[in-house]
Amino acid sequence: MKSVAVYCGSSAGANPLYVAQAQALGAALVAHGLTLVYGGGRVGLMGTIADAVLAHGGRVIGVIPDFLATKEIAHAGCTELHVVKSMHERKLLMADRADAFVALPGGYGTLEELFEVLTWGQLGLHRKPVALLNVAGYYDHLLRALDRMRDDQLLRPENRAQLLQAADPEDLLAQLAAYQPVELPKWLTPPTT
């Protein structure tokens, strides 16, 4: 593992722990020799983690669509900044450049990116680990919803286990490094004809 894509809010959120943990994750990435791949903005939690990685001497790859470059204010300090044409191109380039994926607190965009890479993993399009940094229990309700999907047999237990989670950046990075993907056929039950 050489690089980690981090999905997170373009806002800092209401809880100061979100910023503190974004900073801690940025420092931990650098301490482990990992490059940050992220959405390219300099505001909110996105800017916080990029600034933390840069402040500790790490590498930052930002990927931002041209229509968001002014709204999210593209981070000029990135080691590499890619301005792309669409959200689809952004997500694909981030996924290609990352060896693992982490979601910090965020909104719709963060969840959409998280679930897309989880789905790609479920479909066998990649074998990379996916995790939540569950700051202050931010994702507890989401984790319960995923457990419900598993319990109602709409999500395989192995696919539910595909999403790692930790409250601490060091624990999270250890889980990412130890991850072993499981090969499964897509369907819970074979289709009938």
pLDDT at 84: 97
Residues in the chain: 193
Q: How many CA atoms lie within 13 A of 25 on its CB side?
A: 38
Identity of residue 112: E
The domains found in the chain, sorted by start residue, are 3-178 (3.40.50.450)
Please list the ranges in the chain whose pLDDT falls under 50.
Answer: none
* Cβ atoms of 33 and 66 closer than 8 Å: no
What secondary structure does DSSP assign to 29-60, as a single string? HHHTTPEEEE--BSSHHHHHHHHHHHHTT--E
* Cβ atoms of 57 and 116 closer than 8 Å: no
User: What is the average pLDDT value for the chain, to the nearest integer?
Assistant: 94
Q: Angle, to 10 degrees, between the axis of helix 108-122 and the axis of helix 87-97? A: 60
Strands 130-133 and 35-38: unpaired
CA-atom Rg of the chain in angstroms: 16
Q: Angle, to 10 degrees, between the axis of helix 16-31 and the axis of helix 44-55? A: 40
Which strand (E) or helix (H) includes residue 166?
A: strand 163-166
Task: Please state the pTM of the whole predicted model.
Answer: 0.93
pLDDT at 71: 72
Widest distance between CA atoms in the chain: 59
pLDDT at 70: 77
Place of tokens 């989401």: 142
Name the DSSP class of 128.
-
**139 alpha carbon, distance to own chain's centre:** 13
